[in-house]
Structure 1
């Protein structure tokens, strides 16, 4: 049994309350269990209890064993002086506040409903190799419960991404254009090179690029030079295009004092990447985008459809980068693909718009931004495939994002009691519909 199960039991009051008493024999009446505390301090706040003849208002702390109170050093933490009841699985020690006064204890283990505990254990004790803890029991869950949980997980995932955007926005002095630039730069790394591209955005401020946005050659020189791709080597030593960019970068880097923050070519990842995903290919696409779309944020904010956003990302790359995978290395290079564009909409555009909508108080923009995901095709990977096999609804990117969030936030960490599906299974007996 885990502590979160006791939290669940207390929150929903799923235990035997007949002749409810503390470990010292004092009668308990729960008038209000309190609400979960997401911050530091006791587990439940604003609880209301009657202990004996006295009514108390305060906090409730929960542990598997009463001795965990001392193990967590609560006896020296003033935040826990407001605790009026210590709810535990087993009572193996008396506990006190910082002033030495004893705190009443309620032991729940003898009062747990055996069938409720068995249903909980069937979920959280499922083999680690099991794709989902609830897989054998999903036939007992109504479709509406699964659908609502996927939607909830989707919104939580979008909110988390929007929180990341808001942190970036704050760090960049509340400049939305710079926020869009940094978010897009990192996203163009498509996981393997997200981190070096995020560092490149810091090493090459948007304020510098803005001064040269009308000259694509200078944009390329800045991006490729600051990324470390213009250093002379045996592949590009006789390449006139690269030599020209190198000369331009040498001038611009000295002008703006960029050399000290430039990246090195060894910092980029190529392992297990298709040539179309090579970092220089992505940089050429970024240079074309920054040249063709000087007002990034405004364009991303005002686009009304996936079709408009897809068109936004289709900037024309110079002929050289359509025939070179990296400086001095010839090869036919495809344009930015539809699947890549869909990922950029999912991971940048939607969170960016939601963050802005929250910032300015436009709930309708949040709704319309999230709705864009329903226009995108479903993603398929090792995580969503598990849910596909179990017949979860999976028709669009909205479903995919919800399923990914369900896996990461609930199924993988076995947070079944926090999931509507697991909650349903724990609460109800296993009776087929």
Structure 2
């Protein structure tokens, strides 16, 4: 049994309440179990209990064993002085507040229904290789429960991404244009090169790029120079384009004191990438986009459809980067593909718009931004395929994002009791479809 099971049991009051008493024999009446605390401090806040003849309002702390109180150093933490009841699986020690006053304890292990614990253990003890802990039991869960849980996971995923955007926005001095620039740069790395492209955004501030956005040659010199792609080697010795950019970059990097922040060639990843995904190709596409779309944030915010956003992202790369996979190495390069644009809308546009909508208090913009995902095709990978095979709806990117969140935040870490599906199975072993 894990502690999260006791949290679940206390929250829903799934235990025998007959002759409910503390470890010291005092009668307990639970008037209100309190609400879960997502921050530091006791597990449940604003609980209301009657202990003997006295009514108490305060917090409830939960542990598998009462002795965990001391192991977690709660006896020295003033935040836990508000605890009015210590709910435990086993009562193996008395505990006290910082002033030495004892805290009443309620031991639950003998009050748990064996079948409830057995259903919980069946989920959390599922083999690590099992795709979903509840896979053999899914036919017992109504389809609407599965659908609503996937939708909940989707919204949580979007909110977390929006939180990341808000943190970036705060770090950048609440500049939405700079926020869009940094988010877009990182996303153009498409996982393999997201980290170096994020560092490139820091190494080349938008304030510098803004001064040269209308001069494509200078814009390319800054981007490729700071990325470390303008070094001279055997492939670029006779390449006039690279030589010209190098000369321009030498002037600009001294003008803006950029020398110390530049990346090196070895910091970029090429392993297991198709040439169309090589970092210089992606950077060329970014150069074309930054030159053709000088107001990034406004354009991403005001586009009302996936079609409008697709048109935004289809700005042509500079001619050289439509014909070279890397400096000095020619080859026909395709433009930014539809699947890449779909990922950019999913991972940049939607979170950016949701973050802004929360910032200015526009709930309708949150809804319309999330709705964009329903216009995009479903993403198929090793995770979504498992859920689809088990009967989960998987028609659009909205479904894909929900299933990915379900896997990452609930199924993989075995957080079954936090999931509506797992909670339903623990409560009722036989549920009609």
| TM class, shorter-length | over 0.9
2:149 equivalent in structure 1:
149
Aligned to 1:388: 388
Measured after TM superposition, the shift of residue 318 of structure 1 is: 2.4
Correspondence for 2:415: 415
After superposition, give the CA deviation of every residue in 1:314-358 in whole Å (9 maximum; x if it has no partner). 011222111110000111111000000000000000000001100
Instruction: Please report how far the alpha carbon of residue 420 of structure 1 lies from its aligned counterpart in structure 2 after TM superposition.
Output: 0.7
Equivalent residue for 1:268? 268
Using the TM superposition, give the Cα deviation of residue 247 of structure 1 relative to its aligned residue in structure 2, in angstroms: 0.8
- Where 1:218 maps in the other structure, the secondary structure is helix
Once the two structures are superposed, residues 283-318 of structure 1 have per-residue CA deviations (whole angstroms, 9 ceiling, x without a partner) of 100000001000000000000100000000001122
Q: How does 1:223-302 map to 2 (within 5 A)?
A: 223-302=223-302
TM-score in terms of structure 1 length = 0.99
| RMSD over aligned Cα atoms | 0.9
Q: How far does residue 431 in structure 1 lie from its aligned partner after superposition?
A: 4.8
Q: CA deviation at 1:208?
A: 1.0
Q: 1:235 & 1:215 partners in 2: Cα distance?
A: 26
Which residue does 2:104 correspond to in 1?
Answer: 104
2:230 and 2:242 in contact (8 A); partners too: yes
In structure 1, distance between residues paired with 2:410 and 2:298 = 36
* Residue number in structure 1 paired with 2:323: 323
Distance in 1, matches of 2:76 and 2:184, equals 48
Bigger drift between 280-289 and 378-387 goes to 378-387
Q: Tell me the alpha carbon deviations over residues 242-286 of structure 1, each in whole angstroms, 9 at most, x when there is no partner.
A: 111111111111111111111100100001111000000001000
Please state whether the residue corresponding to 2:58 is helix, strand or coil: strand
Residue aligning to 2:430: 430
Q: Secondary structure at the match of 1:60?
A: strand
- Deviation track 1:123-166 (CA, whole Å, cap 9, x = no partner) reads 11111110000000000111111111111100100000001111
Aligned residues: 433
Give the CA deviation at 1:432. Answer: 4.8
What SS does the corresponding residue of 2:49 show, helix, strand or coil?
A: strand
Matches within 5 A, 1:29-428: 29-428=29-428
Closer/same/farther in 2, CA of residues 246 and 112 from structure 1, 3 Å limit = same
* Whole-Å separation in 1 of the counterparts to 2:432 and 2:30: 34
Tell me by how many angstroms 1:362 deviates: 0.5
Give the TM-score normalised by the residue count of structure 2.
0.99
CA distance in 1, matches of 2:67, 2:196: 47
Q: Deviations over 1:20-50 (max 9, x none)?
A: 1111111111111111111111111111111
302-311 vs 79-88, which deviates more? 79-88
- C-alpha separation between the residues in 2 aligned to 1:93 and 1:117? 24
Q: Which portions of structure 1, spanning 4 or more consecutive aligned residues, are displaced by more than 3 angstroms?
A: none
Alpha-carbon deviation of 1:429? 2.3
Gaps of 5+ in 1: none
CA distance in 1, matches of 2:129, 2:430: 23
